[in-house]
Amino acid sequence: MSDTKIKNVIIAGGGTAGWMCAAALSKLLGKNLNITLIESDDIPTVGVGEATIPTLLVLHKLLGIDEAEFMAATNATFKLGIAFDNWRDVGKDYIHSFGFIGQDCWAAGFQHFWLKGLKQNLVTEIGDYIPEHLACREERFAILANQDKNYAYHLDAGLYAKFLRNLAEKHGCQRLEGKIQQVNLREDNGYIQSLTLASGQQVEGDLFIDCTGFRGLLIEQALHTGYEDWNHWLPCDSAIAVQTQTVGKPVPYVRSIAHDSGWQWRIPLQNRTGNGLVFCSKYLSDEDAKQLLLNNIEGELLNEPRVIKYRTGTRRKLWNKNCVAIGLSSGFIEPLESTSIHLFQQSIVRLMLMFPSNGINQAAVDEYNRQCRSEIDNIKDFIILHYHLTDRTDSPFWRYCKNMPIPDTLKHRMDLFKQNGKAVKLADELFGEASWVQVMIGQGLMPEQYHPIVDLMSDSELKDFLDTIKAGVKRKVNNWPNHLDFIKHYCQAK
């Protein structure tokens, strides 16, 4: 490995990933580093990661970002979950919200109490026992003192990158305009020595961060790291994105609408709506996909629809030699549960925790790659669950998804839930028990039994327990203002 002290950090590429990395490194480690970000105004970013999850609040706290200022600058609205239309079957919808379900006990999650209540006709839908779920449906939102991190944002990805750029440059990050023409490797160890720009300028560094998007200019084209393809599990390989004028009030959730060969997103911002169609090119052409999307959007078009091609999967190593891939250069699952920005963030935080100030060593590289891979695999399984666990057989795409082989790790989770009602959260896993329960039940997987501890309650005690939780949720959400009213008073875009 290298005993070269890390002083000069070169970030190749901008966009959300590049500027998030630049902001974090310059703000939190910048006094000891020279940080340079290279990007070209001529190279567009993907820029469609406009829905986030609650973990972003943690990074923003680290960076000292004022929430209202950030939201006004990025035309952001609040997000409490995702509405899944037609996923279980055509005409069957459900919501996967943030937050926790009901009240559990030491031996069993709330779903076990709810399952017995279901058998006795004592309960309504499981979302009635989750404040964030009910607030999605009633279009309410509030920020309360000392509350859990139970919300996220819908934001303009382009404006978010600009916001982060301002923060990074304020803390000493230098931006260098130019196209990267060549990646130059050291002869002795194959490490990256420098980048040659189209202007002929040579940019040397000790640590290189690849934020060049799907191209993977450093991690793949130069270092030939290798890619693990997940197309057999996640067959969608294309997306079409377009922005429209807002019609109606922005709701506090993303809509994910399943179609014959993929699904459509609808993300409400303060000033517009982000729309897109994720689809499988084996079953739908680009032109037909574009027409399908245009036939199913609301509001006047603000730009021309653009096609984005991708391969689901991951680099075999996210850190290889003196190069760390962050963002789409590291791989791509797909946008279904808004995990892209989260993975950018986690990679950056891990890098800072293991930062190789005194030189790159194999133990740190291996541990970084192990942690990244573990998290990616768990998220991958959660996304596959949405496609595979379905009653839809109305199109070749859905018949393939329903019958495709799935990872053993996911099969075990599904079997455990079906046979025992148990939803497992692994250590450091992103999606918790409440998420797995909501999606598995929403997609139609009902447990065959509940935990016997529930039977320690009498029927009347169980009814009181369930009714009290439901009433508490209703009372809590009734005190929250309308989502749009809250935005107007808290963070209205200028």
295: left (phi over 0), alpha (psi -120 to 50) or beta: alpha
The sign of the CA dihedral 98, 65, 163, 10 is: negative
Beta-carbon contacts of 174 under 8 Å, excluding residues fewer than 6 positions away, are: 34, 35, 36, 37
Which residues carry out catalysis? Answer: 79
Largest CA distance in the chain: 79
Structure tokens at 84: 């899944």
H or E segment to which residue 274 belongs: strand 273-279
- Do residues 483 and 78 lie in contact, with contact meaning Cβ atoms separated by under 8 Å? yes
- Cα(478)–Cα(112) distance, rounded to whole angstroms? 27
- Cα(80)–Cα(135) distance, rounded to whole angstroms? 8
| 8-12 β-sheet, strand order | 174-177, 34-39, 8-12, 207-210, 323-325, 319-320
Structure tokens at 201: 């300028």
Closest by CA position to 10, among listed 164, 234, 186, 174: 174
- Cα(415)–Cα(185) distance, rounded to whole angstroms? 49
- Do residues 51 and 154 lie in contact, with contact meaning Cβ atoms separated by under 8 Å? yes
